Amino acid sequence: MTADVTWLDVWTPQEGADRVRGLFAGRFDAEPEGTWSAPGRVNLIGEHTDYNGGLCLPIALPHRTYTAVRRRDDDVVRLVSAQEPNGIRTVDLAGVAPGTVDGWVGYVVGVAWALRQAGHPVAGFDVAIDSCVPYGAGLSSSAALEASTAVALDAVFGLGLSASDEGRATLAALCVRAENEIAGAPTGGMDQAASLRSQDGHALLLDCLDGSVRHVPFDLAAHDLALLVVDTRAEHALVDGQYAARRASCEAAAARLGVATLREVSDDPRGLEWALGKLDDEVQVRRVRHVVNEIDRVTWFVALLDAGEVGLVGTLMNASHASLRDDYEVSCRELDLVVDTARAAGAVGARMTGGGFGGSAIALVASDEVDRVAQAVADAFADAGLRAPGFLVATASDPAA
């Protein structure tokens, strides 16, 4: 039996702006000052390296979160979302602090809180939100929500930060603080940097130790290739303790090794084996082995892109998935099924992407094989009795604006 293949919607910028403007007008009986948007992201390679001071290589997706905003003269924030049809949420911005706001609202008011904590003159506002970034897919819908809020508040309150990469790096750092302290998710900074600092047609090589970036040309179509993203629809959450446990293990290993971050192990001439020999905790050994090797894989991946050898990166993708599955232990049945099926169907390489424990996987495939590989994955999920996955083709897209 052939399963149906579900392709995930993507809106044009005009469609997204029209939708969120209409939502704002309908709920608040007023017009917003403008509309802004920010993309989700998919990471090509470099997983769980960001909070270890490492390297990662995301691209911004064409799938975006759209935000319409109007300033207020008080500290009240009123929020509506097309994904939540039950009325208007109201929050007193002056009362926002860690532990005071739950759910998606925390990602929005958390950004305003972080801006105020940094000394920026942000007051209350009305905001409407709509999004075509798949929720719970490990494609950073949370960072898209934060980044769209950040550029909107930057504009309506005249902060001037989004006009330069330096300012956007500041916004990204404040979005990380909002996610860590208000939303309660201990993520690193890759997602926010990808949403705010990427460039159309380029992958973002992010050095998480110093925050520097390099825009690496990434045009798969020129090589007759495509990046197929598969949302496994498996439950995906980063606030349930598993992600935090991985981060804590890395921090403990770094302390044991006498380094600030595991990036220093990667740069140490004594090498990985020296570091592993100093650790007596087998879990820490596996975590460090993944992080250090993954940082190296990012370097090799970029070198291949620079050399025009895009078709050779599949081996690195495959090795990354094996490391995430076996050493970092963040894969799951659905992610492994995507990867194994895509490779068997002829993918150049495949790997899970994002934090893991569900979410999405990516496969590098020939342009004319996208439909066939997607069909093979959909059939495999149906045969396994799993919920039908969703599919999209990722192209490197514009940042928040």
Residues carrying an active site annotation: 191
> To which residue do tokens 């709920």 refer?
27
Q: Determine the Cα–Cα distance for residues 100 and 76; give it in Å rounded to an integer.
A: 15
Give dist(CA 326, CA 323) in Å, integer.
5
The number of residues making up the chain comes to 401
Q: What is the largest CA-CA distance in the chain?
A: 65
| Pick from 279, 42, 9, 21: nearest CA to 138 | 42
Q: How far apart are CA 274 and CA 268, in angstroms?
A: 9
CA angle, corner 256, sides to 249 and 295, nearest 5?
60
The residues, any chain, with a CB within 8 Å of residue 138's CB and separated by 6 or more, are: 231, 236, 353, 354, 355, 356, 358, 359, 360
Q: 31 and 67 in contact (C-beta within 8 Å)?
A: no
Q: Are 70 and 126 contacting, i.e. CB atoms less than 8 angstroms apart?
A: yes
Backbone φ and ψ for 227, nearest 5 degrees, come out as -105, 105
Q: Which positions ≥6 away from 321 have C-beta within 8 Å? A: 331, 339, 350, 351, 352, 361
Contact in structure between 262 and 250 (CB atoms under 8 Å): yes
β-strand pairing of 125-131 with 76-81: parallel
Nearest Cα neighbor of 348 from 362, 335, 365, 336 is: 365
Q: Around 259, how many Cα atoms within 13 Å sit in the side-chain half-sphere?
A: 19
Residues sharing a CB contact under 8 Å with residue 292, sequence separation 6 or more, in sequence order: 262, 265, 266, 272, 275
Residue 315's nearest CA partner among 325, 300, 329 is 300
